[in-house]
Chain A
């Protein structure tokens, strides 16, 4: 039964989303985003299995590639912010406003 995989995927996604919303540390938020991405990957692979073709798995690979690229850029930004402000809290970086 593939339903369990889907439920797991939903749980993982919810954990990730909750983490993004309530955690302040930029690294943790970032990891939560990764968690959400991987929850999606799980769902894609599951659907691929359900439907019986490879497209879902191909998309999962794409997501991984994009996620890897994102990690590179995102971590670089976080590190730079930490260097200048001595803080990795996302709430401290709120200059981009009205």
Chain B
């Protein structure tokens, strides 16, 4: 159970000492584009790309500086300034884990920026779009680079804000506005968990920085408080990473422009939850603890749910969204398995970043050529007219289903094998999920690129311009070889070890393990089944009614219906009740009191008749009474 996590060293100077530039570049970009709005219309997108690339360059330089240090000194903290005096200072933590994320975010993020130049070319608000993209990158970098939970939380919410803005980018569509709000609110439910988790951490340990927590928490320590913190942080992670039960926002988030979907789903936002769990892993999710088990269970449940949803979607983006849920589920499953799983979870996160971005952007390219049609039943036989998009998408597809020797094969298989080893039941569920993945991803490819043309009459599909296809090619290269590079000879695991700990025994690459073979077999079965149903047979261009199960999947497993009947409707009633109570109850009492006083004084004023003689009588009576009283008292 002994995991060797390196001490955090204070660092100044050099590239790492100036790592804040990584965040500052895109932040300044966003600021300039928003403040000088119309004046930057002509070159705004270029500035956005330049800022993102600059950030990438800093990340690369920092990475090389970091590997220049010895293995035990690769956790460098950079103090920035005093944030809340006596509570928390703002600082950055550059270690193998955060730098991996930073590279992924800035690298894939920059490619998405470049792609967006082409994709958003005809949108009059392209400049605004780039400012949001920059904001997103900056917030995400703050999230992964911060050396404390408060900084992480600021980045965390910044990401939420940017995604709100991006999902609602076409806010004049009511559906987009609703989806954006929903994403934010559902995320806030997760934030509630993260917030309360932070309260407990602060109250128990008196600090919120990772370095000091590392000193105060013994590795492997568990008790009720730690379990509570773990579960609350998991709630936060569920919100950001769209895990059950907070998954419902992700499918609606497809209302945003397609590069947004790529940025949110592939490179950044949804991986934040995995980052949180892995970052806190040594503290609150030690191997074998209840909290870690909860993470793994949530992951396994979501990977199945996402896969099932993916099977029934005809909207290509929603299909991909389902698959994202599912793949993040794999990562969470890996993150719940302790140090052995972390490396694979992060590895899968990185390769998934590449192949999912590849496929999302590919889907965007298809939509770009098809007049923004998203219904796969209106596609078919596109491989001939969009060769580059087809090839890159196909590579991404092979990677995600775990075709041997491609990226996904190494990382996903790693998670499955580790899971079978540690939590057999969850592991075999993950194998089943892989089979379903084989089915729905094949279905997507066959419906889109193979079979008969089912295009709308006015569709003239064409290949996208180079500015869009070059990023696709680069991403597909990553989907091809990155997995092998990271996993073979445990390169990533050894690199991450100082930050997240090292498992007792290093996993060995075992291509012929029973779980691996079973996965391959199931994937093949799923793919063949999909071929028979959607490749060879004709796909109806109108959605068939489908069985009970299909409807179940189409309606997102009734997640929205559940939320609506459990939270939304009672909430509306409660609100109405409260407003009524406030107007009639609280205010009513006050107004009633006022009316009562007014009424009684209205009756009392009748005494003032205006007749002088009446007044005189009352004076005499008063005087008589007074005299009488004095006589009675006898003190006259």
A and B touch in the complex (CB under 8 A): yes
Inside 8 A of B562's CB, which chain A residues have their CB? none
Closest to A20 in B: B616
Contact B609 A94 (CB under 8 A): yes
Task: Name the one of B605, B611, B616 contacting A94, with C-beta atoms under 8 angstroms.
Answer: B611
For chain A, the count of residues having a C-beta within 8 Å of the partner chain is: 13
Inside 8 A of A97's CB, which chain B residues have their CB? 608-610
The size class of the interface chain B forms with chain A is 10 to 19
Smallest beta-carbon distance B478→chain A, Å: 90
Smallest beta-carbon distance A29→chain B, Å: 8
Contact A17 B608 (CB under 8 A): no
Smallest beta-carbon distance A70→chain B, Å: 15
Q: How far is the CA of A33 from the CA of B95 in the complex (A)?
A: 105
Q: How far is the CA of A90 from the CA of B615 in the complex (A)?
A: 12
Given contacts A17-B620, A21-B620, contact A96 B610 (CB under 8 A): yes
Inside 8 A of B597's CB, which chain A residues have their CB? none
Contact B616 A98 (CB under 8 A): no
Does A65 belong to the interface (CB within 8 Å)? no
Contact B613 A90 (CB under 8 A): yes
> In the complex, which residues 578-624 of chain B have their Cβ closer than 8 Å to any Cβ of chain A?
605-606, 608-613, 616-617, 620
Q: How far is the CA of A74 from the CA of B431 in the complex (A)?
A: 111
Does A7 belong to the interface (CB within 8 Å)? no
Contact B610 A95 (CB under 8 A): yes
Does A93 belong to the interface (CB within 8 Å)? yes
Q: How far is the CA of A22 from the CA of B614 in the complex (A)?
A: 10
Q: How far is the CA of A31 from the CA of B102 in the complex (A)?
A: 106
> In the complex, which residues 358-399 of chain B have their Cβ closer than 8 Å to any Cβ of chain A?
none
Task: Name the one of B606, B608, B611, B620 contacting A90, with C-beta atoms under 8 angstroms.
Answer: B611
Contact A90 B612 (CB under 8 A): yes
Q: How far is the CA of A45 from the CA of B408 in the complex (A)?
A: 124
Inside 8 A of A94's CB, which chain B residues have their CB? 609-612
Closest to A94 in B: B610
Inside 8 A of B613's CB, which chain A residues have their CB? 20-22, 29, 90-91
Inside 8 A of B608's CB, which chain A residues have their CB? 97-98
Q: How far is the CA of A29 from the CA of B612 in the complex (A)?
A: 10
Inside 8 A of A96's CB, which chain B residues have their CB? 610
Inside 8 A of A22's CB, which chain B residues have their CB? 613
Q: How far is the CA of A97 from the CA of B612 in the complex (A)?
A: 10
Inside 8 A of B616's CB, which chain A residues have their CB? 20-21
Smallest beta-carbon distance A94→chain B, Å: 3
Closest to A26 in B: B612
Inside 8 A of A90's CB, which chain B residues have their CB? 611-613
Inside 8 A of A91's CB, which chain B residues have their CB? 611, 613
Closest to B624 in A: A17
Q: How far is the CA of A98 from the CA of B606 in the complex (A)?
A: 6
Closest to B623 in A: A17
Smallest beta-carbon distance A41→chain B, Å: 18
Closest to A90 in B: B612
Inside 8 A of B612's CB, which chain A residues have their CB? 29, 90, 93-94
Inside 8 A of A29's CB, which chain B residues have their CB? 612-613
Smallest beta-carbon distance A59→chain B, Å: 19
Q: Mark B231-274, 1 if CB is under 8 A from A, else 0.
A: 00000000000000000000000000000000000000000000
Closest to A32 in B: B616
> In the complex, which residues 45-98 of chain A have their Cβ closer than 8 Å to any Cβ of chain B?
90-91, 93-98
Q: How far is the CA of A90 from the CA of B612 in the complex (A)?
A: 7
The residue in B608, B610, B617, B620 that gathers the most chain A C-beta atoms within 10 A of its C-beta is B610
Inside 8 A of B611's CB, which chain A residues have their CB? 90-91, 94
Closest to A96 in B: B610
Smallest beta-carbon distance A27→chain B, Å: 13
Smallest beta-carbon distance B150→chain A, Å: 66
Q: How far is the CA of A98 from the CA of B613 in the complex (A)?
A: 16
Inside 8 A of B617's CB, which chain A residues have their CB? 21
Q: How far is the CA of A98 from the CA of B612 in the complex (A)?
A: 14
Smallest beta-carbon distance A10→chain B, Å: 12
Q: How far is the CA of A95 from the CA of B610 in the complex (A)?
A: 6
Q: How far is the CA of A97 from the CA of B605 in the complex (A)?
A: 9
Q: How far is the CA of A91 from the CA of B609 in the complex (A)?
A: 10
Q: How far is the CA of A21 from the CA of B621 in the complex (A)?
A: 11
Closest to B605 in A: A98
Q: Mark B207-251, 1 if CB is under 8 A from A, else 0.
A: 000000000000000000000000000000000000000000000
Smallest beta-carbon distance A73→chain B, Å: 15
Q: How far is the CA of A23 from the CA of B143 in the complex (A)?
A: 95
Q: How far is the CA of A81 from the CA of B606 in the complex (A)?
A: 25
Closest to B611 in A: A94
Q: Mark A1-41, 1 if CB is under 8 A from B, else 0.
A: 00000000000000001001110000001000000000000
Inside 8 A of B605's CB, which chain A residues have their CB? 98
Q: How far is the CA of A91 from the CA of B615 in the complex (A)?
A: 12
Closest to B612 in A: A90
Q: How far is the CA of A48 from the CA of B611 in the complex (A)?
A: 37
Smallest beta-carbon distance B294→chain A, Å: 75
Inside 8 A of B610's CB, which chain A residues have their CB? 93-98
Q: How far is the CA of A21 from the CA of B615 in the complex (A)?
A: 9
Inside 8 A of A17's CB, which chain B residues have their CB? 620
Q: How far is the CA of A21 from the CA of B617 in the complex (A)?
A: 6
Q: How far is the CA of A95 from the CA of B608 in the complex (A)?
A: 10
Q: How far is the CA of A17 from the CA of B608 in the complex (A)?
A: 21
Q: How far is the CA of A20 from the CA of B623 in the complex (A)?
A: 15
Inside 8 A of A95's CB, which chain B residues have their CB? 610
Inside 8 A of A21's CB, which chain B residues have their CB? 613, 616-617, 620
Closest to B620 in A: A17
The residue in A21, A29, A95, A97 that gathers the most chain B C-beta atoms within 10 A of its C-beta is A97
Chain B residues close to A by CB (< 8 Å):
605-606, 608-613, 616-617, 620
Q: 19 A-B Cβ contacts within 8 A?
A: A17-B620, A20-B616, A21-B617, A22-B613, A90-B611, A91-B611, A94-B610, A94-B611, A94-B612, A95-B610, A96-B610, A97-B608, A97-B609, A97-B610, A98-B605, A98-B606, A98-B608, A98-B609, A98-B610
Q: 19 new A-B pairs (CB below 8 Å) besides A21-B613, A97-B609? A: A17-B620, A21-B616, A21-B617, A21-B620, A29-B612, A29-B613, A90-B612, A91-B611, A91-B613, A93-B612, A94-B609, A94-B610, A95-B610, A97-B608, A97-B610, A98-B606, A98-B608, A98-B609, A98-B610
Chain A residues close to B by CB (< 8 Å):
17, 20-22, 29, 90-91, 93-98
Nearest 8 pairs of A and B residues by beta carbon: A97-B610, A94-B610, A98-B605, A98-B608, A90-B612, A97-B608, A94-B611, A20-B616
